[in-house]
Structure 1
Amino acid sequence: MAELLFCEPTELYNILNQVSKLSRLAEPNYLCLLDVRSKRQYDESHVITALRVKKTDHQYLIPESVDLECVRYCIVYDSNTSSLELSIQRGQDDDEEKEDKEEDTELLPGPAVEFGQILIHFTRQPVYILRGGYECFSGMYHFFRTQKIIWMPQELDAFQPYPIEILPGRIFLGKISQACNAKMHKDLKIKAHVNISMETTPYFVGNVDKLLHIKLEDTPDAVLFTYFRHICHFMELHLRLHSVILVFSTQGISRSVAAVVAFLMHYNEETLKRSWAHVKKCKTNMRPNRALVTQLLEWERALHGEYLTDISEPIY
């Protein structure tokens, strides 16, 4: 039997935005997102690709269109569940009968947890409950609300993923095309750029306070180490100013990833291995070249006075 676990809103956001060559949403066994709210609420708006869970005789029906045994991520949400524990539901609403209400209290799981407890008998991977439900997620990522019910394969192929969220609402990691996308820029409220590529964008041109442009080619002998301290100071300053930062390179998988890992090592005072694991969890297709990995190891020694991560072991 599988586990029942919580999924934070930022985790679902990142799951929705993973890519291989195309959006991973196009993969049939990648994500099963299930909405257990009422039909009226679902029709009004729901998270993109979510399926509504139906009921008959007050019993939840298992979706027949999904092979739950093969699904990598099975995520359930209701309106606002914030705990896997039992929630309190009262039978009376009159404030004057407060004492009676205490006696009439009934403990019941939230709808998402209730359905999740059923699903764990059908899946091999954990079943996740979205913390805060639709209300929290749609409040943070309003641009992923939709009324669309049916998604054709070609529509999922054409879906344009957003930059990956590294620190919730603070640091995003992406590629040049995302950095040039006006809608994504507005939706994420980006206020500063760290551009590690030869290309330029239309944002913050000539504004050194909001744009750090490190012109570095994507080659095996590219040296980013000498810029790590500057990158960290620039990003740390903008975090203090509550600015949202987008770090990007041409494809967003090597140079910009190395910069983000270096920043996390500095900002959290942690090892290369730990920072690498965090970014890898957020962006599964990250792939800094070997030279950049070696430079990150040197950065670890500069920060901690010694090598703490063994890069001879695969950390990919």
Structure 2
Amino acid sequence: MAGTTFCEVSELYNILNQNTPLSRLPEFNYLCLIDACAKGQYNASHIITLRCHLQDSKGKFIMPAGVEVESMRNIVVYDSNSSSLQGEAMECAEALTKSNRYPVQILKGGYQRFSALNPFIRTQKILYTIKELESLRPYTVELLPDQLYLGDYNALVNVSEDTSHVLEKGNLHVNVADSVAADLYSSFERICVFIGSHRITMAFLLHHLKYTLGEAWEHVLQCKTNMRPNRGFVQQLYDWELHTLGRRMTDIAVPCY
């Protein structure tokens, strides 16, 4: 039995917005999101892809049909306002932990907090086809809540050689190819200054928060699971760690880099 744990709002937000490049939500064993609230609240509005919890005549939780708990990587349960490991969400989660090898997560703050921070992910829709899930356009993932986000070409820092989609205002264009030989290191400081001056985010992780490369890597990978910079950029980040911290703290020779 894997047990239960709390899930922060930003964690669930990032789980919902993973893509490769299509949304990961259609994957059979990726996410099971369960509402432990009363059925009336579920019908009024809920988080996208949610399943309503079911109970038998004795009030015992019944797993929704077609869900294989044993192979499910992410199981998240919420009620209206989960603030402790008690209540409806906990009762539902305990029933799921008996057969799942991964911890069942309870959304901290419940639906009230999540919907207040992310009202654009609410819906009344109950059933989705695979095609509908595949067509969902993920939002940028959240690296630092309300401060730093990671996205595609719509993000504030554009790192490519193509300038055709760069907006006239509010963007920094860094003309660099995605290749091992490309030089991104020389632009790191300019990127960090741009981010701080626009107050869109607090800082680039190594420059302003003084993360080591290893800490920054682990944090970003938790938020964006398919993140994988090429080897040339890894080496430049390694040099940037030396520049910002004054010494090398990370061994980039290990396989994870």
If the TM-score is normalised by the length of the shorter chain, which range does it land in? over 0.9
In 1, the alpha carbon distance for the partners of 2:197 and 2:233 equals 24
- Residue aligning to 1:114: 91
**Aligned 8 A contact 2:53 2:64 in 1:** yes
**Aligned 8 A contact 1:193 1:211 in 2:** yes
- Residue aligning to 1:77: 78
Deviations 1:63-88 (A, max 9, x none): 2320000000000010011222xxxx
**Aligned 8 A contact 2:158 2:166 in 1:** no
Return closer, same or farther for 1:305/1:82 CA change in 2, 3 Å cut-off: same
**Which segment is superposed worse, 59-68 or 40-49?**
59-68
Q: CA deviation at 1:204?
A: 4.6
Aligned 1:158-307 pairs, distance under 5 A: 158-176=135-153, 179=154, 193-200=156-163, 204-205=167-168, 207=169, 210-239=170-199, 243=200, 263-307=204-248
**Aligned 8 A contact 2:2 2:97 in 1:** yes
User: Match for 2:108: what amino acid?
Assistant: R
SS at match of 2:5: strand
Aligned 1:23-172 pairs, distance under 5 A: 23-56=23-56, 57-84=58-85, 109-172=86-149
Unaligned runs of 5+ in 1: 85-108, 180-191, 246-259
Q: CA deviation at 1:156?
A: 1.2
- Residue aligning to 2:16: 16
Deviations 1:176-219 (A, max 9, x none): 2xx1xxxxxxxxxxxx82111223476750x3xx3211121222
In 2, the alpha carbon distance for the partners of 1:112 and 1:150 equals 22
Deviations 1:234-260 (A, max 9, x none): 212233xxx369xxxxxxxxxxxxxx8
**Aligned 8 A contact 1:273 1:315 in 2:** no
Q: CA deviation at 1:315?
A: 2.4
CA RMSD of aligned residues (A): 1.7
SS at match of 2:125: coil
**Aligned 8 A contact 2:32 2:74 in 1:** yes
**Aligned 8 A contact 2:166 2:173 in 1:** no
The structure that has the greater radius of gyration is 1
User: Match for 2:177: what amino acid?
Assistant: E
User: Match for 1:193: what amino acid?
Assistant: L
Q: CA deviation at 1:58?
A: 2.5
In 2, the alpha carbon distance for the partners of 1:43 and 1:307 equals 54
Return closer, same or farther for 1:293/1:203 CA change in 2, 3 Å cut-off: closer
**Identity score, percent:** 45
Count of residue pairs the alignment pairs up: 256
**Aligned 8 A contact 1:34 1:75 in 2:** yes
In 2, the alpha carbon distance for the partners of 1:231 and 1:297 equals 17
Return closer, same or farther for 1:12/1:204 CA change in 2, 3 Å cut-off: same
Unaligned runs of 5+ in 2: none
TM-score computed with the length of structure 1 as normaliser: 0.77
In 2, the alpha carbon distance for the partners of 1:8 and 1:201 equals 37
**Which segment is superposed worse, 278-287 or 60-69?**
60-69
SS at match of 1:25: coil
TM-score computed with the length of structure 2 as normaliser: 0.94
- Residue aligning to 1:252: none
In 2, the alpha carbon distance for the partners of 1:170 and 1:52 equals 32
